[in-house]
């Protein structure tokens, strides 16, 4: 199961969705929100209070077919990408209050956004920038200011020309960074290559491609800079191969770690790595890459989630507190809380508030 194959915050949103096949389900989800009870997930020093449906959207705003990416800036503002409307990114304050909608130029159409990956970095000029990966073959990787002004973009023809490759399929999924300021652009749903550019948009190198051996990928859906042991590496979610791979700063393969289901992306805070797994759980790894927790893990629940007859992704009336459906992205805030964006109809952002 992948989200590539397959708005309920306001009454206006319900009416607009009428007749689409999801309106009733979204109304049910809104009603159930009032009955939602926070659940504790994890244990010991990795215990969290799980608040589903975090953040409220105003009238006329919806996540559409899915919420996709989540990132947090230096001020604690939370940015969520989606496939709804309007625009491509919704911004919330740390308390879940809606602040603004932004990046209308990064939509596929005026009616539906193509938001997927979103990553934030402070660069040499001291300013923060957004890196957007739209998962749309007609659109481009985009660097923008924190206020939504586009700085540069790189689409399929740019990547092919720069790297000297014929990509065939192309659908970008996520970006990550190197310590020197370079950016890795991951063509996760397309060619399976990772393209390295400077912060100014100059091509540096390319590696990966489709395959099952070390150094090759089947859906490199997300990646992140792993500097936990003091030696910078790029950790890649090789999703359809159900594994993580690590590479040095010269793009050389270092190691492969199995034991995942469908790893979607990565974030790191201090010595802790979080990996949202699209198959209904969130994994935590320690500084030695040992799995220390599978948050929300429940085999019986996962069987239901992956059963196509259940249609769980679009059935919020079936969702259970403290359980995940399709965790797609995750981000730590400065206090160690974790925000999870899920690939579900109508979208869902959950806040895991660190208890201990």
Three-state secondary structure of 264-292: CCCEEECCEEEEEECCCEEEEECCCCCEE
Helix, strand, coil % (nearest 5) of the chain? 15, 40, 45
CA distances from 101 to 79, 93, 291, 345 (A): 9, 12, 37, 19
φ/ψ of 224, rounded to 5, equals -155, 155
| Sole residue written with tokens 């950790």 | 235
Residue 16 has pLDDT above 90, yes or no: no
Residue 34 has pLDDT above 70, yes or no: no
pLDDT at 314: 97
Name the average pLDDT for the chain.
Answer: 90
Residue 25 has pLDDT above 50, yes or no: no
Q: Where are the beta strands (DSSP E) in 53-192?
A: 67-72, 78-82, 89-92, 98-102, 117-122, 128-133, 141-145, 150-154, 174-177, 183-186
How much is the average pLDDT of 53-58? 96
pLDDT at 311: 98
In this structure, of 26-35, 78-87, 171-180, the range with the lowest mean pLDDT score is: 26-35
What percent of the chain stands above pLDDT 90? 86
pLDDT at 35: 54
In this structure, of 4-18, 218-232, 287-301, the range with the lowest mean pLDDT score is: 4-18
pLDDT band at 23; cut points 50, 70, 90: very low
In this structure, of 48-57, 109-118, 334-343, the range with the lowest mean pLDDT score is: 109-118
What percent of the chain stands above pLDDT 70? 89
pLDDT at 38: 87
DSSP helix/strand/coil, 128: strand
| Sole residue written with tokens 């500084």 | 287
32-53 residues labelled b (16+ CB within 10 A) or e (exposed): beeeeeeeebbeeebbbbbbbb
Q: Could you read off the pLDDT of 198-255 as tens digits, one per residue?
A: 999 999 999 999 999 999 999 999 999 999 999 999 999 999 999 999 999 999 999 9
In whole angstroms, give the CA distance from residue 223 to residue 174: 7
DSSP secondary-structure letter at 304? Answer: H
pLDDT band at 36; cut points 50, 70, 90: low
Residue 33 has pLDDT above 90, yes or no: no
3-state secondary structure 23-69: HHHHHHHHHHHCCCCCEEEEECCEEEEEECCCCCCCCCCECECCEEE
Cβ distance 317 to 254 under 8 Å? no
φ/ψ of 311, rounded to 5, equals 50, 45
Residue 275 pairs in a beta bridge with 283
Token digits of residue 201: 């948009």
pLDDT at 356: 78
pTM (2 d.p.):
0.90
Residue 185 has pLDDT above 50, yes or no: yes
pLDDT band at 108; cut points 50, 70, 90: confident
pLDDT at 110: 63
Q: Is 343 exposed, middle or buried (0-12, 13-18, 19+ CB in 10 A)?
A: buried
Residue 24 has pLDDT above 90, yes or no: no
Token digits of residue 42: 């994890």
Q: Could you read off the pLDDT of 125-173 as tens digits, one per residue?
A: 999 999 999 999 999 999 999 999 999 999 999 999 999 999 999 999 9
Domains of the chain in start order, with CATH, are 11-354 (2.120.10.30)
- 107 compared with 221, residue with greater pLDDT: 221
Residue 63 has pLDDT above 60, yes or no: yes
178-217 residues labelled b (16+ CB within 10 A) or e (exposed): beeebbbbbbbbbbbbbbbbebeeebeebbbbbeeeebbb
Long-range contacts of 255-259 (CB under 8 A, 24+ apart): 256/214, 257/289, 259/291
In whole angstroms, give the CA distance from residue 251 to residue 243: 17
pLDDT at 37: 72
In this structure, of 10-14, 27-31, 178-182, 288-292, the range with the lowest mean pLDDT score is: 10-14
């Amino acid at each position: 199961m992948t989200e590539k194959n397959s708005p309920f915050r306001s009454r206006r949103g319900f009416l607009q969705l009428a007749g689409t096949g999801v309106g009733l389900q979204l109304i049910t989800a809104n009603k159930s929100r009032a009955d939602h009870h926070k659940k504790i997930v994890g244990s010991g020093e990795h215990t969290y209070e799980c608040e589903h449906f975090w953040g409220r959207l105003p009238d006329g705003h919806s996540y559409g077919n899915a919420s996709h990416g989540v990132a947090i800036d230096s001020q604690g503002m939370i940015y969520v990408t989606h496939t709804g409307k309007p625009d491509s990114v919704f911004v919330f304050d740390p308390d879940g209050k809606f602040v603004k909608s932004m990046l209308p130029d990064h939509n596929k159409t005026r009616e539906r956004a193509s938001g997927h990956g979103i990553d934030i970095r402070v660069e040499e000029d001291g300013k923060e920038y957004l890196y957007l990966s739209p998962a749309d073959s007609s659109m481009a990787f985009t660097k923008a200011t924190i206020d939504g002004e586009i700085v540069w973009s790189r689409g399929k023809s740019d990547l092919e020309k720069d790297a000297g490759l014929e990509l065939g399929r192309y659908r970008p999924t996520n970006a990550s960074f190197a310590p020197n300021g370079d950016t890795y652009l991951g063509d996760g749903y397309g060619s399976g290559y990772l393209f390295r550019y400077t912060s100014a948009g100059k091509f540096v190198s390319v590696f990966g491609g489709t395959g099952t051996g070390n150094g090759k990928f089947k859906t490199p859906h997300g990646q992140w800079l792993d500097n936990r042991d003091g030696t910078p590496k790029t950790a890649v979610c090789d999703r359809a191969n159900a594994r993580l791979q690590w590479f040095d700063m010269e793009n050389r393969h270092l190691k492969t770690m199995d034991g995942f289901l469908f790893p979607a992306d990565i974030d790191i805070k201090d010595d802790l790595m979080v990996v949202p797994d699209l198959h209904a759980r969130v994994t935590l790894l320690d500084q030695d890459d040992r799995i220390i927790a599978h948050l929300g893990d429940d085999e019986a629940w996962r069987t239901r989630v992956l059963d196509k007859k259940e249609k769980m992704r679009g059935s919020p009336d079936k969702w259970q507190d403290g359980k995940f459906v399709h965790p797609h992205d995750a981000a730590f805030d400065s206090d160690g809380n974790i925000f999870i964006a899920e690939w579900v109809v109508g979208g869902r952002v959950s806040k895991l508030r660190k208890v201990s």
